[in-house]
Amino acid sequence: MAPLADSFGACPVPKSRYDHITLGHGSGGRLSADLLRSIFLPAFDSSVLASLEDQATLPFDVRGGRLAFTTDAFVVRPLFFPGGDIGRLAVCGTVNDLAVGGVRPLFLSAAFILEEGLPLADLERIVRSMRQSCAEAGVELVAGDTKVVDRGKGDKVFIATSGIGIVPEGRNLSIHAAQPGDRILVSGTLGDHGVAIMSVREGLEFETVLESDCAPLADLTRVMLEACPAIRCMRDPTRGGLSSALNELAVGSNVGVELDENATPIRDEVRAACEMLGLDPYYVANEGKLIAVVPAADADGLLTAMRGHPLGRSAAAIGTVVSDHPGMVIANSPIGGRRVVMMIAGEQLPRIC
Amino acid sequence: MAPLADSFGACPVPKSRYDHITLGHGSGGRLSADLLRSIFLPAFDSSVLASLEDQATLPFDVRGGRLAFTTDAFVVRPLFFPGGDIGRLAVCGTVNDLAVGGVRPLFLSAAFILEEGLPLADLERIVRSMRQSCAEAGVELVAGDTKVVDRGKGDKVFIATSGIGIVPEGRNLSIHAAQPGDRILVSGTLGDHGVAIMSVREGLEFETVLESDCAPLADLTRVMLEACPAIRCMRDPTRGGLSSALNELAVGSNVGVELDENATPIRDEVRAACEMLGLDPYYVANEGKLIAVVPAADADGLLTAMRGHPLGRSAAAIGTVVSDHPGMVIANSPIGGRRVVMMIAGEQLPRIC
């Protein structure tokens, strides 16, 4: 339902006398309405959300364009980490899945699965962070739902977000579109999100705090597409990292990818942490980075445009699309070594997003 | 992401050698791709889903209409119950939230949160049921995601679905639109879903199996709106039951509601089960029923139209909107008694949907 009405109802209720989530907060009765009115409605300040209908009704002028639609579930552990939290992740992850398609994100929905006993203060903090991230991304959260599961049957908070936006007329970015000779750019340093999460979990301490790169990329992609409409494809290398994104590209376009390890931007602290934790940074998740595939002639212009944006300052050209070894990604080391970058098989970092 | 691409990647993989979900199935690597290819893509048979982009791109012609958008999370326990399962519920719940707004549902997304150890056979059964329900409802599932949580941090399967559809030009159903004199109709028997779930949980046995009414209502609402464009408002009385739906209406439209207990269709078995379990059927969830508010002059015509539809055969007029006692629902018993039907405060039936 849109404005959380199914779960919350519309009757006036006194301010909550609860500090923690109870099963009653998922009842569809007065406690649900209380949660809606005390936490969700004030946070998002959306007249559509507040209308309490079963569905959000939205002005939407496609005018020759198409609609884009995406969804993701978020189960990251811990809920709060340096550089972000599950709420920011849930907004940015879905916004970015739209943005890398060249889509202008417009509206989000959020479905919460709360574990009985969750402190309401944690929920409030998450919801505030979502509002802030929505504002940064220029999207409106217009639909929501909340369910509560009994203690021990969930893990504090899971969030599923969905997003819709407009695909401008004539725009057709696709992982099937890469061609031999194309250049592969990345918008910044790799591995920051995954290493930030793992460092918190493992209790690692470094001289500087390792922060997640979690950020909404819609403004960066807008600038990139204005500067370079010839972009073939963009991807956000989240779970599975750069490796999964490039392997999907190689298979999707039936091309080979040659990666220049020396050109790949990775923070020294992230490289050090990866060595300590036994991780390959190419497999580590990012939440505020993208790769772009672009005809060689446009690469320099695009790189300049990316570096002019706050979220693209460390952008770099890291590889080339080739006709050799289709479906395969090969990394070239500074000392002349070559290795196949396989798609990761199982789980390197569970619950990273 | 749309075609589960973020979570699954696109590289060719051998058929799964796993019978149960592992953490690796949530990695974004090869096991994720395996799950996508062996279970999700074959089930939904959608070219949009199979395109493996980060977002579904959809033809969408609004032409003066508006877009409707809704989301719900599903945590029902047990996963399989007489008359349905969590997959059918996840499709019907979201379809119905659109349908009761007079919206034509078009596209769905589904985000799965799976617990490590879930038998793959259970997931396949759920996904098949979703496909069947999508076909019944006339919607296409075009976007998905899967996350896996460690054993003991979830409960087998949670599903969050979102739906989008078109609101035809000039259609403005709203819980704020009821007027004194309007009649309140219900499309069939009340309490079937909640009682079916509780009977399974409590191990109750009756002479007949109590089945959930879980069904997609989009075709019924289409027929109703064709027969009676003057309908003011529709609602599906899910969590919180008839009581929550009518209380929301009374508050939303600032009117009173007079309910005729004798006219309320309730199966004998459901009534008996409610007595055994100490439940009030007005508070019990329905998953294939709706209430409609309609000007008195149109009530008979609408009732006839509803009864002509397979999902409205037991439709009945159950109440009247009044100007007295605004914000309050009062039930009138066959023997002349009057009682206030309050909105439920806490949790009567946890995890009913």
Asked if B22 and A73 come within 8 Å (Cβ–Cβ), the reply is no
Mean pLDDT score of chain A, rounded to an integer?
Answer: 90
Asked if B239 and A26 come within 8 Å (Cβ–Cβ), the reply is yes
Report pLDDT for B129: 95
The domain spans of chain B are 51-168, 183-340
Report pLDDT for A2: 38
At the fourth CATH level, which superfamily is domain B183-340? Answer: PurM-like C-terminal domain (3.90.650.10)
Report pLDDT for B12: 40
Give me the residues of B, 293-322, that contact A with CB < 8 A: none
Return averaged pLDDT per consecutive 10 residues of chain A, 353 residues in all.
38 58 82 83 80 76 78 96 97 97 94 94 94 95 92 97 91 94 98 94 80 98 97 95 95 97 95 90 96 98 98 98 97 94 80 92
Give me the residues of B, 113-132, that contact A with CB < 8 A: 113
Min Cα–Cα distance to chain B from A181, Å? 22
- The answer to whether residue A348 neighbours chain B at the CB level (below 8 Å) is yes
For the entire predicted model, the pTM comes to 0.91
Asked if B143 and A32 come within 8 Å (Cβ–Cβ), the reply is no
Interface contacts (A, B; CB < 8 Å): 358
Pick the closest to residue A189 from A273, A95, A263, A82 (CA basis).
A263
Min Cα–Cα distance to chain A from B10, Å? 5
Distance separating alpha carbons of residues A35 and A32, to the nearest angstrom: 5
β-partners of residue A107 are A140, A164
> Can you read off the two tokens belonging to residue A201?
């979990």
- How close are the terminal C-alpha atoms of chain A, in Å? 25
- The answer to whether residue B12 neighbours chain A at the CB level (below 8 Å) is yes
DSSP states of A55-75 = SEEE----TT-EEEEEEEEE-
CA A191 vs CA A188, A196, A325, A326: distances in Å? 10, 8, 26, 26
> Can you read off the two tokens belonging to residue B263?
């006219």
Q: For the segment A47-100, what is each residue's pLDDT rounded down to a tens digit?
A: 877 777 778 877 776 666 688 999 999 999 999 999 999 999 999 999 999 999
Out of A29, A111, A153, closest to residue B343 by CB: A29
- The answer to whether residue B108 neighbours chain A at the CB level (below 8 Å) is no
Sheet with B233-235, side-by-side order of all strands: B233-235, B291-294, B183-186, B316-322, B256-260, B329-332, B338-340
Out of B9, B165, B351, closest to residue A343 by CB: B9
CB A238 within 8 A of CB A349: no
> Can you read off the two tokens belonging to residue B144?
């998905």
CA B139 vs CA B44, B58, B216, B217, B288: distances in Å? 11, 13, 10, 12, 17
- The answer to whether residue B286 neighbours chain A at the CB level (below 8 Å) is no
Question: Which regions of chain B are under pLDDT 70?
Answer: 1-17, 61-65, 347
- The answer to whether residue A347 neighbours chain B at the CB level (below 8 Å) is yes
- How close are the terminal C-alpha atoms of chain B, in Å? 25
- The answer to whether residue A58 neighbours chain B at the CB level (below 8 Å) is yes
Task: Spell A157-192 as b/e; 16+ CB within 10 A means b.
Answer: bbbbbbbbbbbeeebebbbbebeeebbbbbbbbbbb
Distance separating alpha carbons of residues A120 and A115, to the nearest angstrom: 11
Mean pLDDT score of chain B, rounded to an integer?
Answer: 90
Asked if A54 and B235 come within 8 Å (Cβ–Cβ), the reply is yes
Report pLDDT for B2: 38
Report pLDDT for A341: 94
Q: In chain B, count of helices (H) and strands (E)?
A: 11, 14
Residues in contact with A303: Cβ distance below 8 Å, sequence separation at least 6, in sequence order:
A185, A315, A316, A317
Asked if B162 and A144 come within 8 Å (Cβ–Cβ), the reply is no
Out of A60, A70, A101, closest to residue B66 by CB: A60
Task: Tell me the chain A residues in contact with residue B29 when contact means C-beta distances shorter than 8 Å.
Answer: 240, 244, 283, 343-348
Q: Which of A18, A40, A52, A53 to mutate to test the interface with B (most CBs of B within 10 A)?
A: A53
Min Cα–Cα distance to chain B from A168, Å? 11
At the fourth CATH level, which superfamily is domain A51-168? Answer: PurM-like, N-terminal domain (3.30.1330.10)
**In what helix (H) or strand (E) does residue B72 lie, and over which residues does it extend?**
strand B66-74
Positive or negative torsion for Cα B223, B224, B226, B227: positive
Burial of B192: CB neighbours in 10 Å, binned 0-12, 13-18, 19+: buried
Asked if A346 and B23 come within 8 Å (Cβ–Cβ), the reply is yes
Report pLDDT for B8: 37
Task: Tell me the chain B residues in contact with residue A54 when contact means C-beta distances shorter than 8 Å.
Answer: 70, 97-98, 100-101, 235-236
Asked if B251 and A12 come within 8 Å (Cβ–Cβ), the reply is yes
Min Cα–Cα distance to chain A from B337, Å? 24
Helix pair B296-307, B218-227: axis angle to 10 deg? 140
Min Cα–Cα distance to chain A from B344, Å? 5
Out of B32, B154, B343, closest to residue A154 by CB: B154
Task: Tell me the chain B residues in contact with residue A175 when contact means C-beta distances shorter than 8 Å.
Answer: 5, 10, 52-53
